[in-house]
């Protein structure tokens, strides 16, 4: 057997599918109860669409909140589009799922973090211990993104 099971890519696909399904449900029914989302994404990722002034202000990554003030959520197979208010100015954004770095619903302490292979390589350089992170996939992912659950301590209200 030459390759083995690529758990990193399988998890990656499953977690992107989960985000797609959650957003599809929200687009059809609205946000239930206290649910809301913090979505951090790479503003330079191919096919991301946002106003030039937002791209200039957030040249690497940006976090948007889907809670009370969002309109026209359209969910596609490769990404989603939404209109958000920045101040009083509505802006349309398109975010491919592969551009997403974190997806958090603090109302139920749920979160996902997607790392690039470069991020994982930087972590490896910082550690002498070759053991993979707890709960993380083992083995290389050939430049693909890996998914792992985010600890939500930093999002908790004090």
Res 115: pLDDT: 76
For residue 14, report the phi and psi dihedrals to the nearest 5 degrees: -65, -45
How far is the first Cα of the chain from the last one, in angstroms, to the nearest whole number? Answer: 51
For residue 83, CA distances in Å to 19, 22, 49, 146 come to 18, 18, 11, 28
What are the domain boundaries of the chain?
A: 7-151
148 pLDDT more than 80:
no
In the structure, what pLDDT confidence band is assigned to residue 86 with cuts at 50, 70 and 90? Answer: confident
CATH of domain 7-151: 2.30.30.220
Q: Exposed e or buried b for every residue in 40-58, given b needs 16+ CB within 10 A?
A: bbbbeeeebebeeebeeeb
pLDDT tens digit string along 55-72? 999 999 999 999 988 899
State how far the Cα of 82 lies from the Cα of 96, in Å rounded to an integer.
12
pTM for this model (two decimals) = 0.71
Res 87: pLDDT: 83
């Amino acid at each position: 057997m030459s390759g083995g099971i690529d758990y990193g890519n399988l998890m990656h696909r499953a977690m992107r599918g989960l985000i797609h399904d959650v957003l599809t449900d929200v687009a059809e029914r609205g946000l239930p109860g206290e649910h809301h989302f913090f979505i951090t994404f790479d503003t330079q990722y191919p096919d991301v669409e946002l106003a030039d002034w937002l791209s200039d202000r957030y040249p690497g990554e940006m976090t948007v909140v889907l809670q009370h003030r969002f309109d026209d959520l359209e969910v596609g197979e490769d990404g989603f589009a939404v209109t958000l208010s920045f101040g009083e100015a509505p802006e349309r954004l398109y975010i491919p799922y592969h551009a997403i770095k974190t997806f958090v619903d603090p109302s139920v302490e749920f979160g996902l973090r997607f790392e690039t292979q470069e991020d994982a390589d930087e972590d490896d350089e910082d550690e002498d211990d070759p053991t993979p992170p707890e709960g993380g996939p083992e083995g290389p992912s050939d430049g693909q993104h890996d998914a792992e659950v985010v600890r939500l301590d930093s999002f908790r209200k004090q």
